[in-house]
Structure 1
């Protein structure tokens, strides 16, 4: 009897058959299959670096939050200045060590049999010490909580179960050059503006994840109201009706690891939002006239200390504004016009945490720079909640489409339909573009999302 291939599903379908590389199509079945979902927990969420939060959420000794790496609950805690990520499973009988979303504890004690652990996951003792209820078969050093590999990036907490796998920098690759412009640009860094918002969506996590890979085109239709109402409605270039098509032009950064960024022309925004001519402004003047989201003109000086001249060139030309990190992170650093003619920035990150083949937990963090003046901070938080929060207008649009995609993927006929990524760039990076990576200029295409699926394919079919 031949051994069963790790690449075959129960009905004999090969995972390799779910993606047609030549045609750039993905079977819709990928958004509903239980066995595929179970394999993703091992091959995607068990192998890649996952964002769990920000260090400003746990500033003090003993602070902790409960988060998820795939479907595995973990305790993210601070101990003696370091951050640890421990599997939230008691090694005694499998009970959760903590059931709280957040808190502070010098010792984490399992409510079932009382086994106790330090914030770094080290086993302390079991009750009734003279009876040695943890036994003598295993040394106490072997009874601690399983530890993930942890790294901090711009204050963001990332962890992986792939202890000997690629470093975080290797995982980001060339995309890091662009992410640094968002997360490592200021002197003091970012901080959270309160705990993250969360809600459940009846959809497969990949429906949201692949959109986070810089899908710009859906803005024209799904978010059409942005060009029809409020302060987005009318601009000199857009004309009556607020056509959003000009916002679809720019540069897009793809990654062999599925990361993606959309870089949108700042000059066009300067003309529309400030009335100034960007061709008459220097790099520094452009950044002060329309500071990056989350900054005011006084904070722009910090950019010169933390970024290279080449990065500053991109920041004043086509700065990254939306995109994602594989597998399940979306970021938005966007400019929001106000009724009085001013502009308020929004800094937000989402994760799409899998809770089953047809369920995900949407988690939304709102960020501000630590140097952000209180008045600007308040405006940023309010604007971000209204647009990108759990009840935000943009997220109401997005979270309506993903469940429908998941439902159609369950149909006997629908599951054989395909997701198509056939709008292909035929251009290279803009002339004079100083940044690395796979960069294409022009109207937004499908390349970034296709690279997201190619990395999913690579991980799902790799030899185990």
Structure 2
């Protein structure tokens, strides 16, 4: 049995022994053990900031969606004042779910079991037959409201935590915020979702997907090799590799975080050279933005960038912008420049959440986003392209979601659970000369550092050190 004072599993294994700091290895049993899973729900999803969706999913008063914070179902609502709330989706009377729907609109959330009613902000309104006071006199109405989480909106993204007095969201992001701002805080009106998220269930532990989201670029060379053979990167002679060689896309800078966040900042020089026929080093920031606007933007939208980003962020955005990465513990984002058959480039913006459903099950949730100011033609191209590549039927996700179950099954074996995940490809470079941003930066071919930092933060949380 796990105890609150001794982080030790039932078989005597210490939690701190699951991650070998000296050899940079993690025991495979972390991907299957039910005890470990239950502890994660308390010490990770019960304490840190968790991504739940985008505010454009609840645009109007009374709108709500049902999401999950670890193993807990929550209501994400918007009240009459426009404020977004996150509350435990559990009636304070007998524990029935307040909503069994995925989404809807109501000013009164009524439990179907005994009819207890709550406002969109979680306040308890009352129960049927008010004169009989079926909620009793022991607790006040104020005490009977729904359990509320602490909420923050960042670039329209909704995050919440049960740790009411814990670190702020900015503290949680740390230095990584400088890079996330280049994606989520770059325009006047920001991003919005293109419809409700796509969902499917994968028979795998959430960490098999979560640790990959920490900027694992290496797997692309083999698992997604088809991109260079028959996909959008297959054209030979364009400087992108071709013939199955995706290695040029593996070079750039990677940002690691003590809080497990990660970003792969991929060099745009090849694309800009192909589009302009000129040496990118000889072009100004303005010229590079005109030739290749950020993923999901048009040249007409580019002037907005100067209003929201610093000179250093603009430099990075036209040199090695963050394109793929993660927000600890279970979010992957993609702001990807996809080459087209006609030689042009179309951006793709997607967010994945790998929602835990048990030690060997996760729900894959995929949001497709676009800039609110993007023209209809671009929005349609982005929707189709992102669905084909990164959606629930997307070819990239068919690859990824095939590996995670095999890892989880292997971690259940009598011998397999004793094996280790290895993160021993270590950067020895440091940041590129002239790099303008903060954080732990390394340049070159993608390595394991970002994923290793993911596991180090996981270990800290599991040990109760944070």
TM range (shorter): over 0.9
> Which position in structure 2 is the counterpart of 1:139?
140
Give deviations 1:255-290, integer Å, cap 9, x for gaps.
000000000111122124554432332111101101
> Which position in structure 2 is the counterpart of 1:435?
437
SS at match of 1:400: helix
> Which position in structure 1 is the counterpart of 2:26?
26
> Which position in structure 2 is the counterpart of 1:453?
455
Pairwise CA distance, 1:234: 2.3
Matched, 1:311 2:291: no
Distance 1:269 1:305 in 2: 26
Distance 2:263 2:273 in 1: 23
Matched, 1:193 2:194: yes
Pairs within 5 Å for 1:142-161? 142-161=143-162
Distance 2:244 2:366 in 1: 28
> Which position in structure 2 is the counterpart of 1:174?
175
SS at match of 1:422: coil
Distance 2:169 2:241 in 1: 45
Distance 2:185 2:66 in 1: 25
Kindly indicate whether the alpha-carbon contact (under 8 Å) linking 1:257 and 1:452 is maintained by their aligned counterparts in 2. yes
| Structure 2 runs not aligned, ≥5 long | none
Distance 1:345 1:221 in 2: 23
Pair 1:414–1:263, CA change in 2 (3 A): same
Kindly indicate whether the alpha-carbon contact (under 8 Å) linking 2:75 and 2:88 is maintained by their aligned counterparts in 1. yes
> Which position in structure 1 is the counterpart of 2:366?
364
| Structure 1 runs not aligned, ≥5 long | none
Q: 1:331 aligns with which of 305, 330, 333?
A: 333
- The TM-score normalised by the length of structure 2 is 0.97
Distance 2:351 2:124 in 1: 34
Pairwise CA distance, 1:239: 5.0
> Which position in structure 2 is the counterpart of 1:105?
106
Matched, 1:65 2:65: yes
Pairwise CA distance, 1:43: 0.3
Give deviations 1:201-223, integer Å, cap 9, x for gaps.
00000000000000000000000
Distance 2:351 2:180 in 1: 13
Pair 1:424–1:62, CA change in 2 (3 A): same
Distance 1:463 1:180 in 2: 28
SS at match of 2:37: helix
Matched, 1:74 2:74: yes
Distance 1:462 1:386 in 2: 41
Distance 1:181 1:284 in 2: 16
Pairs within 5 Å for 1:61-460? 61-79=61-79, 80-236=81-237, 237-238=239-240, 241-273=243-275, 275-460=277-462
Pairwise CA distance, 1:5: 4.3
Distance 2:126 2:59 in 1: 27
SS at match of 2:219: helix
Give deviations 1:274-316, integer Å, cap 9, x for gaps.
5443233211110110111110111111111110001000001
Pairwise CA distance, 1:231: 3.0
Pair 1:4–1:283, CA change in 2 (3 A): closer
Distance 1:185 1:208 in 2: 28
Distance 2:241 2:388 in 1: 25
Pairwise CA distance, 1:342: 1.4
SS at match of 1:217: coil
Give deviations 1:51-103, integer Å, cap 9, x for gaps.
10011000100000000000100000001210000100001000000001000
Distance 1:424 1:302 in 2: 38
Pairwise CA distance, 1:238: 4.5
Distance 1:21 1:432 in 2: 31
Distance 2:279 2:441 in 1: 26
Distance 1:6 1:172 in 2: 29
Number of residue-to-residue matches in the alignment: 462
Kindly indicate whether the alpha-carbon contact (under 8 Å) linking 2:240 and 2:270 is maintained by their aligned counterparts in 1. no
Further displaced range: 285-294 or 114-123:
285-294
SS at match of 2:143: helix
Distance 1:43 1:264 in 2: 33
SS at match of 1:323: strand
Aligned-residue RMSD, C-alpha: 1.2
Distance 1:242 1:231 in 2: 11
Kindly indicate whether the alpha-carbon contact (under 8 Å) linking 1:235 and 1:242 is maintained by their aligned counterparts in 2. no
Pairwise CA distance, 1:240: 5.1
Pair 1:72–1:240, CA change in 2 (3 A): closer
Pairwise CA distance, 1:6: 3.1
Kindly indicate whether the alpha-carbon contact (under 8 Å) linking 1:108 and 1:116 is maintained by their aligned counterparts in 2. yes
Pair 1:4–1:328, CA change in 2 (3 A): closer
